[in-house]
Amino acid sequence: MHAGIHRALAQPRIYQAVPLASAIAAEIDTCGAGRVFVTTTRSLTDGRLVAAAIDALGSRFAGKFDAIPAHSPRESVIAGAQQVRAAGADRILAIGGGSVIDASKVMLQALWYGIDAVDGLNAIVNGRHRGGHRPDDWQRDPQALRMIAVPTTLSAAEFSHRAGVTDVSTGHKLGFAHPLAAPEAVILDPAATLDTPMRLLLSTGVRSIDHAVERWCAARTVPYSDAMAYKALAMLLDALPRIHADPADLEARHAAQIAMWLSMLPGATDVPMGASHGIGYILGGAYGVPHGITSCVMLPAVLEWNVTVDEGRQQAIATLLGAAGEPAGPALRAFLAGLGLPVRLREIGIDEAQLPAMAERYDGTGPIRTNPRPVAGPEDVLEILRLAW
């Protein structure tokens, strides 16, 4: 018997397979927003998806900010928050992948706490504000300005109250949290993913595989987490090859969207992530590697390194991969290669000579600290990196 608390997000509405325009209209009627500000990225800003959203908003459209590059630099967060404030918006509509959605979560916090300078964000890192970092403390710090998310990738950032943005001066990913930073509503329209480049879509799907695998293999699990993680993994392993084979398959895209949602639900039980996520933060913040790609190259290696402590759990993964009785790490690597994704650090331009310095960036915090096989320090991180290289 394991004592614990199930902590639910302040996320009352998830629109599933509802066309974008209809879902936006329904949500605006429900929340009563009068001025809705759109955040997005420059790759989407002039496309059909953003145009359809703005058309659906009609007179309630209050403006648009699209200068959000990968890894959500702090500068973009502050610039976006300034424009939202100037527009007098009462809702943010974030359209894009994890970088747009995470940046928008931190924009909210900058607005709530009157932060108007990049370094001012340092004061609220890791939930150091009156709202705290717990997902269930909804009434601790009530805020009227909330966010609606329309994901265009499979990273699942919209199903969390946490966000990561990058301090470009140091190359470190900074974590932020607030119970009301979780989008009030999420619109899962599979057609919203059609303009996403295939490599980006599939690799962010692997990010959600990473969520599921690391929680399935965590040092401490609970039945709820196991059920969500296992189902998410099974659905993703089925849906991603279908999308790869037929990019027009909306059923497969929607199945992947539901699976990415499921992959995040174990977070309600405080089941931790592991070294794949933690090393991924290093690769992303300091080396500019997209988060989906970090999971492609690191998760198989972390499974290989962890196998001495969670072999039974890994056998379940191998079975889902159609490789019963074989090691899960190499089986996953073969699966990802079949999707045309990179599976080695050398394939994404990382030189072997860079690995020691990369390992030295581990400071004893973050998901590496909660890896099921304890990571003693940078020397263990280097072992994992060599497996990935």
156: pLDDT strictly greater than 70? yes
Total number of domains constituting the chain = 2
Are 160 and 208 in a shared domain?
no
Does 70 have pLDDT greater than 90? no
* Element spanning 185, H or E: strand 185-188
As a whole number, mean pLDDT of residues 21-37 equals 97
Residues 6+ apart with CB under 8 A from 1: none
The boundaries of the domain holding residue 134 are 13-192
Locate 93 and state its tokens: 């509509």
**Is residue 47, in this structure, part of any structural domain at all?**
yes
At 1, the pLDDT band (50, 70, 90 cuts) reads: low
- CB 201, CB 193: distance < 8 Å: yes
Closest CA to 287 of 166, 118, 121: 166
Q: How far is residue 80's CA from residue 303's CA, in Å, rounded to a whole number?
A: 39
Q: Does residue 2 carry a pLDDT above 80? A: no
| Tokens linked to 235 | 């659905």
Residue-level pLDDT at 334? 98
Condensed to tens digits (0 to 9), the pLDDT of residues 320-359 reads 999 999 999 999 999 999 999 999 999 999 999 999 999 9
CA 309 – CA 303 distance, rounded (Å) = 10
Do 332 and 243 share a structural domain? Answer: yes
Question: Is 234 inside a domain boundary?
Answer: yes
Does residue 2 form part of some domain?
Answer: no
Per-residue pLDDT at 245: 98
Cβ-contact 92, 56 below 8 angstroms: no
- Give just the sign of the alpha carbon dihedral 205, 80, 87, 119: positive
Among 126, 65, 134, CA closest to 93: 65
Tokens representing residue 97 in the block: 């992948």
Q: Above 90 in pLDDT, residue 172?
A: no
8-21 pLDDT, tens digit each: 999 999 999 999 99
CATH number at residue 245: 1.20.1090.10
Dihedral pair phi/psi, residue 161, rounded to 5°: -90, 0
Same structural domain, 67 and 122: yes
- Of the three residues 192, 214, 242, the one that is the final residue of a domain is 192
Q: For residue 287, what is the enclosing H or E element?
A: helix 275-287
In a domain, 169, yes or no: yes
3-state secondary structure of 36: strand
CB contact at 8 A, 244 and 202: yes
Tell me the pLDDT band of 285, cut-offs 50, 70 and 90.
confident
* Residue percentage of the chain with pLDDT more than 90: 92
**102 lies in the same domain as 80:** yes
Within a domain: residue 4?
A: no
pLDDT digits 0-9 by tens, 208-249: 999 999 999 999 899 999 999 999 999 999 999 999 999 999
So what's the pLDDT on residue 284?
A: 87
User: Domain check: are 152 and 240 in the same one?
Assistant: no
Q: How far apart are the first and last CA of the chain?
A: 40
